[in-house]
Amino acid sequence: MLETVVNETAPAPQWSVIWLHGLGADGNDFAPIVPELLRPHWPSIRFVFPHAPVQPITINNGVRMRAWYDIISMDFRSRADAAGVDASVQALDALVEQEIARGIPAERILLAGFSQGGAIILSAALRWTRPVAGLIALSTYLPDPEAAAANRVADGIRPPVFMAHGAQDPVIPQPIAAHTAQALSALGFPLEWHSYPMAHQVCADELQALGDWLDARFTTA
């Protein structure tokens, strides 16, 4: 089981959000945004921020850092190490199982990810039948969406997706993310797309929009 940073907004959480960080960061990276997202009428939420394993990254000359998978090339169709993606999807599944064991049904578990972390939650969504509440994909993409779509499970989940990206992102160019959004929409995922005049980061307007999207999940459950 991955080590995690856990933030419970009140006793007896009714919902869980499992949030995966980007390359080279750790579970502490997004923990500070919880107060910026919270709204007074929301239910009690457990935010779980796991630490990715430390591993060498090929395109960074083998330097070791926290990563959900190795990056083996600059080509977005083949840059993600498939075995590493598989291992991280399995690790994410274990975290979901842990939340279910703690009493949170899958229907009240949201999966979030930034950059590499987002690639993992999107990959998981095409492989699972778990009825999770939604996906939050920030500054990210689905590795090889055509292959992922072809290999998806027939009776898989199609949860709502909040996807946001920076128009000036130099790490994952916005057209790559937009292609992912189109592919997910074509597969039947209800998807809300947002673009912001920013680089590979998050911004205040994005968090406001995400809060609105989360509010809809909490108030209709």
Contact (CB, 8 A) for 116 and 143: no
Active-site residue list: 115, 169, 200
| Helix H or strand E encompassing 123 | helix 116-125
| Helix H or strand E encompassing 186 | helix 174-186
Count of residues in the chain: 221
Q: What is the largest CA-CA distance in the chain?
A: 48
Distance (Å, whole) CA 18 – CA 142:
18
Sequence-separated contacts (24+) of 64-68 with Cβ below 8 Å: 65/23, 65/24, 66/21, 66/23, 66/24, 66/25, 66/26, 67/23, 67/24, 67/116, 68/20, 68/23, 68/116, 68/117, 68/119, 68/120
Q: Closest Cα partner for 141 from 124, 159, 123, 158?
A: 123
3-class SS of residue 66: strand
Distance (Å, whole) CA 8 – CA 89:
24
Q: Closest Cα partner for 90 from 161, 20, 1, 21?
A: 1
